[in-house]
């Protein structure tokens, strides 16, 4: 692997539980791939392009099979830069908390920017075709509550199913989740224990990534 794109969606820096787990993943990963460049994009702290009228209109031009004319070029320049940065990676690490049962809004904004026809997917006679092929993804999340399969709140997890759906749509189907939970609901001891468990799992997954 030559390039890993690490997309971070928490603004909490050193306080972040999900980032602590990602750090453990990266410790093992960087030993395994010492030559690999880890490109870090924090969508929670960097300013992302807005989905302006011209960006949205341009999307419909592409959906109709057309090319972006001169009048879209300026608005689309930062969008295409993000798409190219995304496509340059051979693999992806997403570090994200759960916010209101789903993903934080800056991560949704990033997804709305990069998931574009012609670049990440296209429509064919046989249906939709994802254009991001043979790439792996690891998603490290943390949640205040517990949304695991045996929890009564499992059905409230719109984070993992959404991320699997949207990245599967563009062709990334090899996705491993490490969900660090519960972080707030059962106190500090459980929090510490669950972070340690998630770190150990992250290191194990990094060995095979």
* Residues within the interface to ligand FMN (CB under 6 A): 10, 12, 16-19, 97-101, 142-145, 183-184
**Rounded to the nearest whole angstrom, what is the least distance from the CB of residue 1 to ligand FMN in the complex?**
24
**Rounded to the nearest whole angstrom, what is the least distance from the CB of residue 132 to ligand FMN in the complex?**
25
Contact (CB, 8 A) for 202 and 29: no
Taking the least distance from each CB to ligand FMN, the nearer of 81 and 100 is: 100
CA distance 33 to 16: 25
Taking the least distance from each CB to ligand FMN, the nearer of 22 and 116 is: 22
Taking the least distance from each CB to ligand FMN, the nearer of 24 and 142 is: 142
Which residues, 6+ apart, have CB-to-CB distance to 108 below 8 Å? 102
Closest by CA to 134, choosing from 85, 104, 170, is 170
**Rounded to the nearest whole angstrom, what is the least distance from the CB of residue 190 to ligand FMN in the complex?**
12
**Rounded to the nearest whole angstrom, what is the least distance from the CB of residue 165 to ligand FMN in the complex?**
18
Taking the least distance from each CB to ligand FMN, the nearer of 101 and 162 is: 101
**Rounded to the nearest whole angstrom, what is the least distance from the CB of residue 44 to ligand FMN in the complex?**
9
**CA 207 → CA 10, 56, 198, 203, distances in Å?**
25, 41, 14, 6
Count of C-beta atoms within a 10 Å radius of residue 145: 17
H or E, element range at 108: helix 105-114
Taking the least distance from each CB to ligand FMN, the nearer of 17 and 199 is: 17
């Amino acid at each position: 692997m030559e390039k890993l794109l690490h997309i971070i969606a928490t603004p909490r820096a050193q306080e972040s539980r999900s980032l602590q787990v990602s750090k453990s993943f990266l410790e093992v990963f960087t030993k395994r791939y010492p030559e690999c460049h880890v490109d870090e994009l924090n969508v929670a702290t960097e300013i992302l392009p807005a989905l302006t009228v011209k960006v949205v209109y341009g999307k419909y031009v592409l959906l109709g099979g057309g090319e972006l004319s001169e009048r879209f070029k300026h608005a689309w320049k930062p969008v295409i830069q993000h798409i190219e940065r995304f496509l340059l990676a051979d693999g992806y690490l997403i570090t994200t908390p759960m916010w209101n049962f789903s993903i934080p809004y800056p991560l949704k904004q990033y997804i709305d920017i990069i998931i574009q026809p012609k670049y990440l997917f296209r429509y064919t006679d046989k249906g939709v075709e994802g254009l991001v092929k043979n790439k792996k993804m690891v998603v490290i999340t943390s949640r205040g509550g517990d949304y695991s399969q045996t929890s009564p709140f499992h059905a409230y997890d719109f984070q993992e199913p959404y991320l699997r759906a949207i990245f599967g749509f563009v062709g990334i189907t090899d996705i491993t989740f490490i969900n660090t939970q519960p972080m707030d609901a059962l106190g500090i001891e459980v929090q510490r224990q669950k972070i340690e468990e998630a770190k150990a799992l992250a290191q194990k997954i990094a060995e095979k990534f």
